[in-house]
Structure 1
Amino acid sequence: MKLCFSPTTIQGDIYALVYHFQQRLEAGADIDMVVGIDDVEQYKSTPIQQVMPLTVPLWERGNRRFLSDVKSFGPDFFFVDNHLPKKRVFENLVYLWHGFGWKELRAEIEFSKAHKRLSKLLGGVQDANPNFIHQCYGQFEREHRIEASRIHPDNCRVVGMLYADMLLNPPVQRNEIARFYPFKSNDRPTVMLGFTWGFGPVFQHWEADEPELMNRLLRYLAEREVNVILRMHDRFRYERPYLQLLEGIAEQYGNVFLKYKDVERDNLFDVLMSDVIVSNFSGLIVCAYFTGAASIHLHPCGTQEIEHPLYRKRRMKSVLEKGVTYQWKMPPEQNGGLLAATEKELFECLDAALDDPACCRQRSADFVEKYLETSGMFGASLQQSCCARFEDYLTQWQQNGAKPA
């Protein structure tokens, strides 16, 4: 079975599946695989590559010969996230998402270009297609993909959260990765602030002054004597003044490690180091449901009843797409942890989470059981990994020449 991975970012579900297949390859399985990565040399210097190295061939995804080389390789399965290749160089296409999320563009906007590209590549996926599947985290999301994303039921496969395998059974321990964090003491609790960029600045829609609240937040965490991982999206997503604001505030405190996704691509180590994860509904926060960490969800719009805006990066500035609104896959109130929509609620949640980092575990377990039901659960023995179950499915598909029912 020949496999080729070509993600925009190698992390989360895609990384878990790559690592799984690499282990299977090392164990003697009949697998051949290559991984396309942007800036291979930079990736080789990352902490995760030093501790858990990918030993399979790493190909430069931006190389103009990449797709030609992939075609020569002849993969049975080509794995992508939200960026599709310009031409068909594979037998079957597997669409893996970046993570389970709450926010999503209306289908006619989000998937309009994707459907056009998929029509050219594969003849479309709104009808049953023998060469395509879209990963679904559970039955709830499968129904959403069918109804909202307009993908044919035969093309939607419940896989579970592949990344959960690593979160439930970590391949490394904190003491093995602590050296990559510049904290004075690793005995302190660690809070990760992991923010998505899609709503603009984190507190833009709250009834609060962004610099003042961000500063108050980091000052509070310093007073509570906790380590802070401030994990932001790619640097290019933000305007320069906002970057300067973040960097200036972070430098005031010796307990803050500011990271950007395009430089520090991996998030596994950050997740494993964290006792509390705070996010404005980035899919990253779902990781806490599997590690047992407390999770605090910041409502992107605070208490305001407004259309949920989508920001695009144009000419180095964040520009609001006025004709586009977000469709919530589920209400923000429906989550596996704590929810804050005001400053008062934010600090009450932080007090609760730091006083008892296990405070969200039952709520997280209930959420996983309902929405990510095939993914395993914190505190329970893993019967069969999601990756192993998915490998079985792909193997049957490849051997039989058709998708299993």
Structure 2
Amino acid sequence: MSTTTHLAAFRKELHQHPEVSGQERETAQRIIHFLEKLNPQELITSLGGTGVLATFGGKEAEPEILLRCELDALPIQEINTFAHASQSRGVSHKCGHDGHMAVLCGVAEWLSQQKNLHGKVHLLFQPAEENGEGAKAVLADSRFQLSPDWVFAFHNLPGYPLGQVVYREGTFTAAVNSLIFRFTGKTSHAAEPEHGINPAFAIAEILQKLDSLSLNDPSNVDMRVISVVHVSVGEEAYGISAGAGELHLTLRCWDDERLRKLENDVKALVHEVAKAQKNQVETSETQTFFANTNDAQAAQLVEKACVEKALDSYKRPYPFKWGEDFGLFTNQFRGCMFGIGAGEDCPALHNPDYDFPDAIIPVGVQAFTGIIQTLQKAHV
């Protein structure tokens, strides 16, 4: 494996210029400039918005493999003071997507050097993962004419040993959906609240009762997590008893079917309480993430790649509770999402002091190239 110093430098450049979901135009241009030098067989830009798809390979149709990373950053103000700190106020790469892109660029370099590559390998630099819209937009784009045999992606994992590959069969990340409930009551003079309908009391009752629907136990197949992410009631007008309010929740289960059941239970509770307290309520949904369901054979390919590349690996006993929109790909194609440890002392994802560890760039490249080589051997 050649040195990855240049990939680390490129990662730092990407880190300095982060862009939020759907606005990754400059990030995409940097990726395009990097890839053009490698002469891919095909290079599609503006896919699903700002996405980039590079294809390497020979004349054979199989195997057809898709590897995916993410372009977007988060609306978080970075507090790090190192030289490559974000130059965009209020925006930073606090999920490590800069590092994920650097890894896929390393794979692109490796692919460009292969003289007898069988089948095709597609490298997808996907927009808008953080808001759950990117995978959907890419798959809906008429220029995405692929039906890959295999799809793979990884995410860095703070809290795990540096460079350790974490994998499992079945669900890898949770099914997630966010619900917004808008309550309409009736304003009144604050001196005479009895003449109005204040949604605060309905919301307060709902918050107390939601706990009975939760089961925040990651080792349980029926895990249910209900998080209150936003509550608002009325205005800062002290002569008015509130007549409107909002409650925003995020729900998580291990699979899409269980999540639909939890959604129905939560909606039934909200509407029952709202009706009893004479509130009108409207419901909407946002930021839906399908569960990442790892195919057993695909997970075994990750395990085999770790053995052949002498990478430390760990088979996790239960999934992660966070959502990842790669679930749309594993719902449609046979594939696997895995993790790579970012260090046991690494700040958590989405923390303002997090930074992707460059030391795991070569691990990611080796894991992906190992998977490709294993599948290549099976088709020679």
Query: Which structure shows the bigger proportion of residues in helix conformation?
Result: 1
Tell which has more relative contact order, 1 or 2 (C-alpha 8 A, sep 6+).
2
TM-score by length of 1: 0.24
TM-score by length of 2: 0.25
Structure having the higher Rg: 2
Query: Which structure shows the bigger proportion of residues in strand conformation?
Result: 2
